[in-house]
Structure 1
Amino acid sequence: MAATGPCFSVAGFCPALVRSCLTPSSSSSGKMKSNPVPNLTRRFAVSTEQVQIKTEATTTSFPDNERLKMERLENETKEKKIPLLWELAEAEKKHRKSMKDYFEESKDLIRSDGGPPRWFSPLECGSRLDKSPLLLYLPGIDGVGLGLIKQHYSLGKVVKLVERTVRSENCRSPNRLTYLVGESLGACLAIAVAARNPDIDLVLILANPGTSFKKSQLEPLMPLLALLPDQLQLGLPHILSLMTGDPLKMMMDNVTKGVPLQLTVEELSQDVAAMSSYLSVMGDILPRETLLWKLHLLKSASAFANSRLHAVKAQTLILSSGKDQLLPSQEEGQRLQHLLPNCENRLFSDCGHFLLLEDEVDLATIIMGTNFYRRGAYHDYVSDYVPPSPYEFKKIYESVRLIRLATSPVMLSTFEDGKIVRGLAGVPSEGPVLYVGYHMLLGFELAPMVSQFFFERNILLRGIAHPSMFRRLKEGRLPPMSQYDIFRIMGAVPVSGTLFYKLLSSKAHVLLYPGGVREACHRKGEAYKLFWPEHSEFVRMAARFGAKIVPFGVVGEDDFFEVFFDYDDQMKVPFLRDYIIDIAKESKSVRTEENGEVGNQDMHLPGVLPKFPGRFYYYFGKPIETQAWNLRPVDLITASSQSSSRSHVPHLKLVAHPSSLNRQSQH
C-alpha cells in the first residue's frame, strides 16, 4: 500500500511579482521600480497563462508488513529500535517547509520584471494521480503566493485572471474538479469567482476570509497609514509577530511533544534571531503604499464578495482562527456557515491570522478529514480515499497516547492452525477481511485498536460507522463534525450496504459492530451483552467475496467505569428525554426496520462513575474461511442468524473477565 497524501495539480497566484506595476514606489519621483526577476525555476514552474506541472514520480511507499513488525513486550530490557514507520514520518517531515523558507523564497517573488500577474507551480509537489483535481491558491494580504509553502509537499508532495484560468481548465477537462484555496483577500476573490461561475464544479477552501473586513480593526487603520511618514512603518513589527506566531506557544508545543526544554529554548532563540533578520524582507513585501493599496483592495473585495454570497452554490470549507488579530475570523466562519448552502466550518482555536503557515495546520489532512477530497461529481468513500502518510499517522498515533497509557492494551490473535500469540501476527495480511466484534461502552476500544493495526501490521481498519459522523440532517445538539475528522482520516465510512459491498470488492479490511449504538450505550447490568440482529447482514456479503471473518472480543472498559445513570433513567427526566429526541432528529436513523432492543439506536451519553483502573484485552479469534462455503441463500441466512446469537457465534470467544486469560498474557 502506497503512502500518499491527496494528489492535486497545485498552482499559486502571485500578484506580488508585479507589485510595482500596481502601486507607486516610495521614491520621490513617483516612477515605478523595475528589478529583474531572479531564476525562479529553482523552485517554481512559472507561467502567465497555464499552470506548469512537473510530472516526475516522487512516491513514498510503506515497507512490507514483516519489516514493520517489532517486539512489543513491556518487560524487555534491551533498547528498542525506532520503528521504520517513524523513520518514514521523520523523512517526510524534513520535506515540510518552515517560516524561514517563506521569507527566503519571498525574496525571489517580491521583485518585478514588469510583466503581468502569473501562476506558478511548486516543483516539490511532485507527481499527481490521473484525473486528479486542480488546486489554485489565491494569496492573502502578503500577496506573494507562498501562504501554502508549508503545505506544498503534503498537497501532492484579480478576479478576471482567476476566472479565465478556471474556465480554461474547465474547457480542457470538463469533468475535472477545481479547488480554490483563498486566504483573507484571496478568499473574497474565490467567492467572487464561484458566484460568477455556478456551472463549474468548484470546491472553495477559505482561510480566515476577508468578508469580515468591516468588522475588523483594519478599516480604521487605513486613514492612519495614509498620514504616517514613510520612515515610521509602525505596522511591520506587529504584522511580523502575527505571521511568526506566539513564541511561548511554540515552546510549550515542543515541551508537550517531548522535546527537551533546553533544546526547545535553543531552537526558539535561533528562530527569533532568524525572524529578526527578515524584517527587511517584510518591509519589501508590505511597504506602506503597498499595504495601504491592499487594504483598499480588501475593502472592495469584501464588499463585492458579501453582495454575491447568495449566488455561491459551490461546496465550501471555512477554516477559522481563534486568535486572528486582524479579522474576527471565528465569528465570520459561523456566519458564512449559516449563509452558504453547502458549507462546513473548522475552528483552529490557537492559530493566528496566517493560518496556513501554522505548524499544526496540514491542509491535506484537513481536506481528507472533512471528506472534501474527490475526483468526481460526488465524494466516493472508497475510490476517493487516500491512506494517511507516515507523518499524518504519527500525529494521530501521538494524539491517542494518553488513552494507550491509561488502558495498556494487550492484543492476542489466532493463527489459522489455532495457535494464539500476543500481538497481531495472527490476523490475515491480505483482504478482504471482515472483523466482527462487540462494542464496548462508548466505543473507547477503537482508538488503541485501529492505531495498533496500522502501526504494527500496516493494516487500515475501514470502520462501518454511524451516519451522524458524516452528515447531519440539521445542526443542533450533536458534537461538532470536527470531532470525527480523525475517524474519516483513518478510513471510516457511513453504514451502508453499498459501501460495505465496495469495501469488500476492493479487498479492504472492514470493521463491523453489529450491535451499533445500542451496544456501545448499554444500560446498567448489560456489560458484555450482545445486541445483534437476527436476520442476515454481513455473512452473506462476506461469502459473496470469499472474505475471511475474524471474530473478536474486547474486555476491560466496564472495569474502568460503572454505569449509574442509563438510557432508561434519562428517558424519565423530561428535559433529558427531549434532548435525546432532538439528537435523533439531527441524524439519519439506522435499523429502523428492527424490532425490540436491537432497533433502539437512540444516541445518548450514559452517566458513569470511575472504578479502579483496569486494562484493555483484545482477543482476535481464528479467521473463518468463507471462500469454499458455496452456500445457498437459505444456508447463508441460517449461518448469519446463528452468528448473531452469543452462544452460536462461530469461534468468537468473548472473555468475561481478564482473569480468565492466562498469566503470561497479563504481563
Structure 2
Amino acid sequence: MAAAAATATPSAIAPPGPRLLPHRASPGSRRRVTPLPRWVASASASKSRAPRPRPASPAASSSMHATIKSGSRPGVREYVEAAQEMARRPDGGPPRWFAPLGCAGGERVPGAPTLLYLPGIDGVGLGLIRHHERLAKMFDVWCLHIPVQDRTTFQGLVEYVERTVKSERSRAPDRPVYLVGESIGACIALAVAARNRDVDLVLVLVNPGTSFHRSQLQSLSAFLDLVPDPFHLSTPQFLNFLTGNFMKMSPRFDEAGQALSEVTTGLLPSLMYLTDILPKESIVWKLKMLRTAASYVNSRLHAVKAQTLVVASGNDELLPSRDEAERLRAKLKNCRIRHFRDNGHKILLEDGFDLATSIKGSTYYRRSRQPDFVSDYLPPTPDELEKAIDHDRLLNFATDPVMLSTLTDGRIVRGLAGLPREGPVLFVGYHMLMGFELGPLVTGVLKSTGIHIRGLAHPFLFNESSEQLMPDTSYFDLPRIMGAVPVTGVNFYKLLSEKQFVLLFPGGAREALHRKGEEYKLFWPEQSEFVRMASRFGATIVPFGVVGEDDICDLLLDYNDLVKLPFYDTIDKKINEGGLRKLRTDSTGEIKNQDMHPVVLTPKVPGRFYFIFGKPIETRGREKELRDKEKAQHLYLHVKSEVESCIKYLKEKREEDPYRSILPRLLYQATHGSDAEIPTFEP
C-alpha cells in the first residue's frame, strides 16, 4: 500500500510498534486517532516494506512547505508554528514516529540507512526542521513525537526505540541505524546502545543530558514546585533556553538593518509556544525523567560500543556541554567530538551549523557495516563548497594563484583548457610545504571546470587520535568533505574503477614536510607504484608542478631542529602512534620515512602561487605494454621528469611576472576593480 499523503483530511501518525508502522487496532478497540498536522507525512500500513513519506498535496501547503519549495531553510518561525500546531491538538499519547514532510521530496541515495531522531525536553520531534531536506538525501528519516500530556517513563521510551531499532536491523541487517539524540534524547540513544551491543548503531549526541547533575536544571528542579504555572517560564534558565542564542537562529525575520525591537517582537510567538509545549506539570515530569535518565546512562557508559559523535555547544545555557563532551570521549570506546564554541543549547535551530556536514566530516556516514571512503562519499553541497572556498579565501587573496595548462599540441595556455574532461584521470605532482597548494588546487579546478578531484591523503587525516592533537577537532573535516580518502591500494583501485579524477603525491609526507634547503625537491620512491594501476583502467596521467611556497614563508625550524629539543621524542611518538609510520614498508631510506611532525614558519610579504599542468599522458590501449616492469618504470621516470620540468619552468617564468608581489597586485585591483584578473607572464 502506498504511503498516504498529508492532506487537509485527518490522517494518523504511527503509534507505538515495530517497523514504524501505524497501529492496527483490534476490533472494538477505542484507541483514539489523532489528526495528522499538514506538515507531516504519514506512514502506510504495509507489512512488506518500510513506509516512505510522500509530498503533501497543494491543498495541504503551509508556511513550512512553502519555505522548502522556495529553496530556503526553515527557521525558528517555522519551528514555532509547526510545534504549536502539533502541541495544541489534545493528545495524551502514546509516543509515535512520523516522517517529516521536508524529508519526503528529492532523491535519496541507494541503500540509505535509517535515522531516528530522539527529541529533547520539548518532545515535539521537530528539532531537525532546518536539516530535514539535506538529511533526507542521506537517510530514511523518522522523528519521535512525545505528546505533551504523555507520561511514558524513560524505561518505556527506551524499550519503544529499542523495538524499532531491532526491527530496522531485521529489515536491513547490513546497514547501520543512526540515533540522533538531543538532550534527554541523547540519554535514550545511549541507553539503547548499552542494551544492544550487537546492533550496528551510530549515535549522534547533541548537547547530551548526561551532565544533568552538573547543570542549571538540577537546581531548577528543586524549587519548580513553588512557582505557579505559567510563571515557571520566567525563570532565568528557561528564558536563557529561549533567548540565549536567538540572534544566531534563523527566524528569517532578523535581516541586516532591522531594528532590535522587531527581533524582540519575534520572540512572542515562541513564548506562546512554550506555554503550549512546556506546561509546568510536563516540565516537572521531564526533569524527573532526565534525572533518572542521566543516572541510568552514566552507570552504563562502559557498555556502549557504538560509534558516537558528540556535538557540543560552547555557549550552552542549560548544560555544561563542552566539558561533558570531553568526559564522554574519555569514557566511550569509539567516540569523536565536535565543539561549536559560539552556539547555544538549541544548536540544531541555529545558523552556521549543519548536522549533515558534521556527520560527513567526522567520517561517520556509511551505508554498510564497514566504512567505504569511495562508495559512501557524497559530493559537497553548494554551502560546503562555499565554506571550502572561504577557508582558503585569505590564502587565495594573498597569493592570487596563476593556473596554466598544456594542450595536446604542447602549447601552454593560461587557464585549464588543457585538462581532460573525462575520467579516469590521475594528477601526479609536487607536494608543497604543509600542503599549501591543496585548497587552491582542488577548489580552483572545481570552480573553473566542474572537475571534482579526489585526493589520496595520509592516514593521519583520518585517525581519531590525530584530531585530539589539533586546535580544533574538526580541523580535518574539510578535506574529508571535499573528497580526500586514505592512501591505500584499495581506495586507489576503487577511485580509478569509478572513473574519478584522482590526486596523488608520490612524495607524500616526506615531501610536504621537507627540511631546510629541500624546496622543490621530489622524494619519490624508486618503484613505479602508480603506473600499472593507472594503465589497468586506461587512466590519463597529468603531471603538474607548483611553486610559490618560498614566496610566502621561510622554514625556521624543521625536523632536524626539532629532534634536538628536549622531550621531542615523546611528542613524536604521540603524533605517529597507531602505525601511522607504516606506509611504505617496501621502501628504504628517506622515502620510507612518512612521519608527521610540526614545523615552525616565518611569514614573508606574500608572493604568488603558480600551477602548471603538463601535457596529458595517455595509458589507454597500453595495458599489455605497461604490464612489463621495465616499460612501466620508464613511464614512471618520464612522469617524474615532467613534474620536475614543470617546476623548473615556473621558477624561471615567475621572474618575468611584474605582479609576483602582492603590492603591485593590490595597485592593479585598485585601478581595475577587485574582480579583474591580474596579468602574469606570457606562457
TM-score normalised to structure 1 length: 0.83
Matched, 1:635 2:642: no
Classify 1:363/1:477 alpha carbon distance in 2 versus 1 (closer, same or farther; 3 Å): closer
Matched, 1:511 2:511: no
1:180-239 deviations in whole A, cap 9, x for unaligned?
Answer: 100010000011111112222111111111111111121111121111122422446753
Larger deviation, residues 644-653 vs 404-413 = 644-653
- Structural mapping, 1:321-360, within 5 Å: 321-360=313-352
Counterpart contact for 2:580–2:595, Cα < 8 Å: no
Q: Which residue of 2 aligns with 1:380?
A: 372
Q: 1:659 aligns with which of 637, 646, 654?
A: 654
Residue identity opposite 1:413 in structure 2? S
Question: By how many angstroms is 1:274 displaced?
Answer: 1.6
Q: 2:41 aligns with which of 44, 47, 62?
A: 44
Q: Which residue of 2 aligns with 1:94?
A: 71
Counterpart contact for 1:407–1:615, Cα < 8 Å: yes
Q: Which residue of 1 aligns with 2:129?
A: 149
Matched, 1:364 2:342: no
Counterpart contact for 2:120–2:181, Cα < 8 Å: yes
Larger deviation, residues 517-526 vs 593-602 = 593-602
Counterpart contact for 1:518–1:531, Cα < 8 Å: yes
RMSD: 3.1
Q: 2:528 aligns with which of 516, 529, 536?
A: 536
Q: Secondary structure at the match of 2:352?
A: coil
CA distance in structure 2 between the partners assigned to 1:108 and 1:232 by the alignment: 23
Q: Which residue of 2 aligns with 1:169?
A: 168
Residue identity opposite 1:220 in structure 2? S
1:118-144 deviations in whole A, cap 9, x for unaligned?
Answer: 111012212423321000000001111
Larger deviation, residues 437-446 vs 172-181 = 172-181
Q: Extract unaligned runs of 5+ from structure 2.
A: 1-12, 17-30, 57-66, 138-156, 659-678
Classify 1:618/1:471 alpha carbon distance in 2 versus 1 (closer, same or farther; 3 Å): same
CA distance in structure 1 between the partners assigned to 2:524 and 2:161 by the alignment: 54
Q: Secondary structure at the match of 2:615?
A: coil
Classify 1:574/1:199 alpha carbon distance in 2 versus 1 (closer, same or farther; 3 Å): same
Matched, 1:122 2:100: yes
Larger deviation, residues 604-613 vs 278-287 = 604-613
Q: Highest relative contact order (Cα 8 Å, sep 6+), 1 or 2? A: 1
Matched, 1:591 2:584: yes
Counterpart contact for 2:532–2:632, Cα < 8 Å: yes
CA distance in structure 2 between the partners assigned to 1:653 and 1:639 by the alignment: 21
Residue identity opposite 1:634 in structure 2? K
Q: Which residue of 2 aligns with 1:274?
A: 266
Classify 1:649/1:408 alpha carbon distance in 2 versus 1 (closer, same or farther; 3 Å): closer
CA distance in structure 2 between the partners assigned to 1:270 and 1:550 by the alignment: 57
1:76-130 deviations in whole A, cap 9, x for unaligned?
Answer: xxxxxxxxxxxxxx99993311111110110122123344221110122124233
Question: By how many angstroms is 1:657 displaced?
Answer: 4.7
Q: 2:118 aligns with which of 134, 138, 143?
A: 138
Q: Which residue of 1 aligns with 2:154?
A: none
Matched, 1:300 2:288: no
CA distance in structure 2 between the partners assigned to 1:231 and 1:349 by the alignment: 32
Residue identity opposite 1:118 in structure 2? R
Q: Secondary structure at the match of 1:302?
A: helix
Classify 1:647/1:382 alpha carbon distance in 2 versus 1 (closer, same or farther; 3 Å): closer
CA distance in structure 2 between the partners assigned to 1:36 and 1:47 by the alignment: 15
Q: Which residue of 2 aligns with 1:563?
A: 555
The alignment-based identity, stated in percent, is: 50
Classify 1:540/1:244 alpha carbon distance in 2 versus 1 (closer, same or farther; 3 Å): farther
CA distance in structure 1 between the partners assigned to 2:218 and 2:231 by the alignment: 19
CA distance in structure 2 between the partners assigned to 1:647 and 1:42 by the alignment: 60
- Structural mapping, 1:567-586, within 5 Å: 567-586=559-578
Counterpart contact for 2:230–2:279, Cα < 8 Å: no
Q: Between Structure 1 and Structure 2, how many residues are aligned? A: 598
Residue identity opposite 1:384 in structure 2? D
Classify 1:495/1:578 alpha carbon distance in 2 versus 1 (closer, same or farther; 3 Å): same
1:581-621 deviations in whole A, cap 9, x for unaligned?
Answer: 43222551122432222222222222222222101111111
1:609-664 deviations in whole A, cap 9, x for unaligned?
Answer: 22221011111111111113242322344225514754786877652255256775
Q: Extract unaligned runs of 5+ from structure 1.
A: 1-11, 16-33, 58-89, 255-261
Classify 1:235/1:159 alpha carbon distance in 2 versus 1 (closer, same or farther; 3 Å): farther
Residue identity opposite 2:83 in structure 1? S
Counterpart contact for 1:471–1:587, Cα < 8 Å: no
Classify 1:638/1:214 alpha carbon distance in 2 versus 1 (closer, same or farther; 3 Å): same
Residue identity opposite 1:117 in structure 2? P
Q: Secondary structure at the match of 1:375?
A: coil
Q: Secondary structure at the match of 2:94?
A: coil
Q: Which residue of 1 aligns with 2:4?
A: none
CA distance in structure 2 between the partners assigned to 1:291 and 1:333 by the alignment: 25
Larger deviation, residues 402-411 vs 268-277 = 268-277
Q: Which residue of 2 aligns with 1:548?
A: 540
Matched, 1:284 2:279: no
Q: 1:610 aligns with which of 600, 603, 611?
A: 603
Q: Which residue of 1 aligns with 2:302?
A: 310
Counterpart contact for 1:208–1:321, Cα < 8 Å: yes
- Structural mapping, 1:158-557, within 5 Å: 158-235=157-234, 238-246=237-245, 264-266=256-258, 270-472=262-464, 477=469, 481-557=473-549
Residue identity opposite 2:521 in structure 1? K
Counterpart contact for 1:35–1:112, Cα < 8 Å: no
CA distance in structure 2 between the partners assigned to 1:13 and 1:569 by the alignment: 66
Classify 1:656/1:547 alpha carbon distance in 2 versus 1 (closer, same or farther; 3 Å): same
CA distance in structure 2 between the partners assigned to 1:421 and 1:648 by the alignment: 17
Q: Secondary structure at the match of 1:119?
A: strand
1:522-566 deviations in whole A, cap 9, x for unaligned?
Answer: 111111111111111111111111100111111112111111322
CA distance in structure 1 between the partners assigned to 2:262 and 2:15 by the alignment: 30
Question: By how many angstroms is 1:470 displaced?
Answer: 0.6
CA distance in structure 2 between the partners assigned to 1:35 and 1:278 by the alignment: 29
Larger deviation, residues 231-240 vs 336-345 = 231-240
Q: Secondary structure at the match of 2:555?
A: strand
Question: By how many angstroms is 1:164 displaced?
Answer: 1.4
Q: Which residue of 2 aligns with 1:81?
A: none
1:270-325 deviations in whole A, cap 9, x for unaligned?
Answer: 44322223311111111111111110111111111112212211111111111112
CA distance in structure 2 between the partners assigned to 1:636 and 1:481 by the alignment: 45
CA distance in structure 2 between the partners assigned to 1:180 and 1:247 by the alignment: 26
Q: Secondary structure at the match of 1:563?
A: strand
Counterpart contact for 1:236–1:282, Cα < 8 Å: no
Question: By how many angstroms is 1:578 displaced?
Answer: 3.5
CA distance in structure 2 between the partners assigned to 1:547 and 1:243 by the alignment: 56
Question: By how many angstroms is 1:505 displaced?
Answer: 0.6
Question: By how many angstroms is 1:517 displaced?
Answer: 1.2
Matched, 1:601 2:600: no
Q: Which residue of 2 aligns with 1:84?
A: none
Question: By how many angstroms is 1:511 displaced?
Answer: 0.5
Question: By how many angstroms is 1:46 displaced?
Answer: 5.7
TM-score normalised to structure 2 length: 0.81
Q: Secondary structure at the match of 2:602?
A: strand
Q: Secondary structure at the match of 1:665?
A: coil
Question: By how many angstroms is 1:411 displaced?
Answer: 0.9
Q: Which residue of 2 aligns with 1:25?
A: none
Classify 1:97/1:488 alpha carbon distance in 2 versus 1 (closer, same or farther; 3 Å): same
Classify 1:178/1:267 alpha carbon distance in 2 versus 1 (closer, same or farther; 3 Å): farther
